[in-house]
């Protein structure tokens, strides 16, 4: 089937805007819709949405780029772009089990810019602004405040923390949306991170390719490539994969920047196997790899958007075996209170003994897998390989210049993605 990536049609909402302004990412950010009145001037709201907008005033920001607003369906309340952008009254209600910091990040913040929860990786909070404000945002305690870019000193502290912690080999730069930093500032931060010898992997979490794809220009791609960074995007519905979004992702990929996608499972917006499958097929068509399907976090005001865990498992069951393995993401639950990420999947293992393991396949048929006679899985060559690789590493470090220039990457790209 030929997959179409239609251009966003802005004629109904923004007929007066020139092509040049429309495709200017700064114009898009300057014209973000941030109030009920501004939204209503462009878009026909339902009574419930008006109520939602009034009730959530002061709880969490409204923010929709004109580009993303033009994707909203005025004729249907359940349009997934509309529901991700305009609050419902339920968002103002907090249940006793809901948390303002559902992932327990704040008590793992040794310095303001760093969340250090896992042994070998950290989250670097580069700023607290976003291109849009998603109704399902679980980091709203940070992104919902008055916006301030993290100042130079806070950034420098974050970089120093990583420099002082040799166990950190993976840095996820997020926020907020790091793509809202100027290319120069982002490039400088990435350069400093890349110059730290023990940092192997740099990832950037961003929703910009979804909500303001014009931001992805050649200079940004060059800065990301120079830093050997991965980009992790956040497409939740195939409707968001427009020609503009496709072009943004392709600019990144063609420029040598690998792109992965994380989807949040949102009740009644994308909570069906058909939608997730189509989203992932479209992503793969443009060489973006579907990576995580996230179970909603237990965050304040988001009960109405969360799915039962079983719904995600059933979606996975309808994907596994029925489509390419690359189109089947990991279903991840980020445990409340900082318990960390776990992945779940349908159970295919029926029983296990020393003699055989019994499986059910994707069609529900039973198959027996005979176990080998020997069970020793230690790897005799491990020690040899480790010693040789440590020697090579030590001699490379000894001959490297004292501090590598930020614009001259010296390490190979590592194709490793972790939580």
User: Interface residues with ligand SF4 (CB under 6 A)?
Assistant: 130, 133-134, 137, 139, 143, 176-177, 207
Dihedral sign for Cα atoms in the order 338, 342, 344, 347:
negative
**Rounded to the nearest whole angstrom, what is the least distance from the CB of residue 287 to ligand SF4 in the complex?**
22
Q: Where are the beta strands (DSSP E) in 242-376?
A: 259-264, 289-294, 330-335, 340-344, 349-352, 356-360, 366-370
- Asked if the peptide bond before residue 176 counts as cis, ω within 30 degrees of 0, the response is yes
Nearer to ligand SF4, 194 or 237 (CB): 237
Nearer to ligand SF4, 71 or 137 (CB): 137
Nearer to ligand SF4, 207 or 215 (CB): 207
Q: Which two tokens stand for residue 349?
A: 């293992």
**Rounded to the nearest whole angstrom, what is the least distance from the CB of residue 103 to ligand SF4 in the complex?**
12
Nearer to ligand SF4, 139 or 277 (CB): 139
Nearer to ligand SF4, 53 or 130 (CB): 130
Nearer to ligand SF4, 147 or 351 (CB): 147
**Rounded to the nearest whole angstrom, what is the least distance from the CB of residue 410 to ligand SF4 in the complex?**
32
Dist. CA 138–CA 136, nearest whole Å: 6
**Rounded to the nearest whole angstrom, what is the least distance from the CB of residue 363 to ligand SF4 in the complex?**
37
Q: What's the burial of 126, exposed, middle or buried (CB within 10 Å: 0-12/13-18/19+)?
A: buried
**Rounded to the nearest whole angstrom, what is the least distance from the CB of residue 102 to ligand SF4 in the complex?**
12
Dist. CA 187–CA 192, nearest whole Å: 9
Any idea what DSSP says for residue 173? E
The residue written with tokens 């990929």 in the block is 253
Dist. CA 291–CA 263, nearest whole Å: 8
- For the chain, give percent helix, strand, coil, nearest 5: 35, 15, 45
**Rounded to the nearest whole angstrom, what is the least distance from the CB of residue 135 to ligand SF4 in the complex?**
9
């Amino acid at each position: 089937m030929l997959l179409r990536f239609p251009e966003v049609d802005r004629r109904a909402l923004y007929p007066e805007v020139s092509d040049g302004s429309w495709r200017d990412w700064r114009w898009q950010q300057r014209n973000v819709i941030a109030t009920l009145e501004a939204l209503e001037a462009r878009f026909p709201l339902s009574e419930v949405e008006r109520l939602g907008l009034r009730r959530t005033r002061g709880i969490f920001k409204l923010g929709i780029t004109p580009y993303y607003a033009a994707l909203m369906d005025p004729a249907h309340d359940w349009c997934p772009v509309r529901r991700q952008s305009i609050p419902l009254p339920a968002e103002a209600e907090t249940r006793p089990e809901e948390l303002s910091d559902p992932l327990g990040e704040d008590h793992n913040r040794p310095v303001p810019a760093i969340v250090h929860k896992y042994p070998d990786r950290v989250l670097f909070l580069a700023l607290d602004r976003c291109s849009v404000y998603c109704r399902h945002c679980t980091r709203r305690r940070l992104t919902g405040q008055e916006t301030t870019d993290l100042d130079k000193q806070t950034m420098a502290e974050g970089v120093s923390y990583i420099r002082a912690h040799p166990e950190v080999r993976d840095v996820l730069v997020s926020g907020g949306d790091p793509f809202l930093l100027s290319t120069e500032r982002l490039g400088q931060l990435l350069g400093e991170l890349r110059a730290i010898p023990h940092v192997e992997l740099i990832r950037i979490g961003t929703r910009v390719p979804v909500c303001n794809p014009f931001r992805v220009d050649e200079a940004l791609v060059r800065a990301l490539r120079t830093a050997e960074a991965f980009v992790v995007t956040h497409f939740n519905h195939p409707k968001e994969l427009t020609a503009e979004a496709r072009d943004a992702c392709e600019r990144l990929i063609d420029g040598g920047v690998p792109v992965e996608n994380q989807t949040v499972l949102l009740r009644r917006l994308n909570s069906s196997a058909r939608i997730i499958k189509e989203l992932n097929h479209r992503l793969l068509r443009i060489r973006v790899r579907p990576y995580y399907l996230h179970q909603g976090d237990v965050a304040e005001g988001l009960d109405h958007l969360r799915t039962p865990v079983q719904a995600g498992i059933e979606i996975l069951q309808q994907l596994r075996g029925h489509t390419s393995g690359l189109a089947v993401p990991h279903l991840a639950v980020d445990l409340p209170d900082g318990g960390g990420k776990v992945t779940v999947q349908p159970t295919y293992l029926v029983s296990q003994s020393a003699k055989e393991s019994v499986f059910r396949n994707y069609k529900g048929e039973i198959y027996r897998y005979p176990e080998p006679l020997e069970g020793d899985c230690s790897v005799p060559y491990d020690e040899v390989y480790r010693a040789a690789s440590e020697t090579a590493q030590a001699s490379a470090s000894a001959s490297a210049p004292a501090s590598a220039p930020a614009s001259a990457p010296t390490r190979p790209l590592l194709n490793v993605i972790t939580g």
